[in-house]
Amino acid sequence: MQIVLGVAGGIAAYKACELLRLFTESGHDVRVVPTESALKFVGTATWAALSGHPVATDVWDDVHEVPHVHIGQTADLVVVAPATADLMARAVVGRADDLLTATLLTARCPVVMAPAMHTEMWEHAATQANVETLRSRGVIVLEPAVGRLTGADTGPGRLPEPAEIYAIAELVLERGSVPSDLTGRHVVVSAGGTREPLDPVRFLGNRSSGRQGYALARTAAARGADVTLIAANVSLPDPAGAKVVRVVTAEEMRDAVRNAALVADAVVMAAAVADFRPASRAIEKIKKTAAEPEPVALVRNPDILAEISRDRGRAGQVIVGFAAETHNALDNGRAKLAAKGCDLLVVNEVGDGRAFETPDNAATLLDATGTVSVVPLGSKERLANTIWDAVAARLSSGA
């Protein structure tokens, strides 16, 4: 595939070198188009050596090849990382005063922008208005990560990790084009497995890695959604484009989900939430003695899926649940769909190396209307897109 990697003039420009490496090692042909100010952070020799192509910033270089038109016309994907506040502002008004902005005007392929800037610049009303304008035109503008910025400052505005930007780009290329059917929608995704403490060092937990939930968050962001990801004990990098809320226990998950669901168009409960927790938690570590240990008394955790299905945050809200089953998966899934009151239920058969802690997944998608869709084994991103297809259809129909 022909990829244009635009690099604007921010300190995060050095991270684009890693993104370029990921693209080229996957077999893509990448043309790097930096701005003049980007070259103050990473020079032309670096971009040329890593991409195998000459590098220019000005429309007057190699005029006979008409690069300001040709580069955009032949691209399968344009990725701008980092996208600074200045670059996005110039793109909004249609400036063509350098090779990158001219390329953006001529490109008819999908465009992904990964913003990076100081928190105050990202949160400024002008920048937010520009982001909304770009998204309304079909540009995939990712949410910046939250973390360490320049100096001692911390906050939203950090460039998402290159691997996450790469994953979004691959999703866009895989589908040819990613629908923007979730643009303007706020979606909530839960991921991971909750932990219920028994004492200060032990807990009851499960084998969920959070990969399916993270794939759901990543694909929703690629389709234009404003994504809130509620993650329980996940060690994966934050998905590009998602606002991450971290929790540990089922009760913390409940509070976070119910709060986020109040303004959500869709909620997808992909997390493996513990059904039970210890009735009491020891203040100190339970010591091993010669005597047999006391039985652990359990109490029920709140049923988050049933609660949010009953108490919908807004009219037309779509609720999706997950069911991890080891036997009688379809029958148990149908019973759970009826009992919980959600709109869609994703039934996974788990165990023996299936679903948990794997990059692939297979599922059966049950719709409250009675429709059954079998999703064969494939990447978790592919299953995620199938789920969002069903969610987007419901949102558009108002069902």
Pairwise CA distance, residues 248 & 311, whole Å: 23
Integer Rg of the chain from CA: 23
- Residue ranges of domains in the chain, CATH in brackets: 2-174 (3.40.50.1950), 186-397 (3.40.50.10300)
Lowest mean pLDDT among 130-134, 303-307, 348-352, 365-369: 348-352
Pairwise CA distance, residues 11 & 336, whole Å: 50
- Tell which residue, 47, 62, 36, has the closest CA to residue 14: 47
pTM of the model: 0.81
Model confidence pLDDT, tens digit, residues 261-281:
999 999 999 999 999 999 999
pLDDT band at 66 (very low <50, low <70, confident <90, very high): very low
Active site residues: 206
Q: Is beta strand 154-158 parallel, antiparallel or unpaired with respect to 145-148?
A: antiparallel
* b/e burial code for range 174-187 (CB count within 10 A of at least 16 → b): ebeebebbbbebbb
Model confidence pLDDT, tens digit, residues 180-226:
788 889 999 999 999 999 999 999 998 889 999 999 999 998 888 88
DSSP 3-state assignment of 229?
A: strand
Q: At what angle do helices 16-25 and 162-174 cross, to 10 degrees?
A: 40
* Tokens found for residue 272: 């493996």
Q: Check whether 384 has a pLDDT greater than 70.
A: yes
For residue 192, is it left (φ>0), alpha (ψ between -120 and 50) or beta?
left
Q: CA 196, 227, 322, 305 torsion: positive or negative?
A: positive
Pairwise CA distance, residues 251 & 124, whole Å: 35
* Tokens found for residue 159: 């460039």
Q: Is beta strand 318-325 parallel, antiparallel or unpaired with respect to 266-269?
A: parallel
